[in-house]
Amino acid sequence: MAKCSIETLNAILVAVFDATNGSLSAHVPLEAVLRRFPGHLRGDIRRCIKELIKRGLLTLHPTRGSTTYQLTQRGLECTTKLIKGEISSVEECENL
């Protein structure tokens, strides 16, 4: 099992931000995140989402139908800074 690349982690975080429209109260199913990536990357994306959960940038939100994902406050701050160009990678979020 290879480690997730920084670019992949950045892309996932931005994809979840996009899917939730930057809202902390919105939660989206895995499929809503996966459809923003090419088919051959979706297995890696599933694995790397778990890495973002471990880092505290995403959280699981269990619902009756399926498990959904939402941004944490720290994840929202990190993604906003990524989009604005204030930081260049998820690695820099560790210091926030």
pLDDT at 94: 75
Which residue, among 65, 66, 53, has the nearest Cα to 16 in the 3D structure?
A: 53
Q: Is 1 part of a structural domain of the chain?
A: no
**Measuring CA to CA, how many Å separate 71 from each of 1, 39, 40, 78, 84?**
25, 23, 25, 10, 17
Q: How many domains does the chain have?
A: 1
User: Do residues 71 and 32 lie in contact, with contact meaning Cβ atoms separated by under 8 Å?
Assistant: no
The enclosing domain of 14 has a CATH number of: 1.10.10.10
pLDDT band at 96 (very low <50, low <70, confident <90, very high): low
Instruction: Taking residues 21-48, report their average pLDDT.
Output: 91
Q: 57 lies in which domain range? A: 6-95
pLDDT at 61: 83
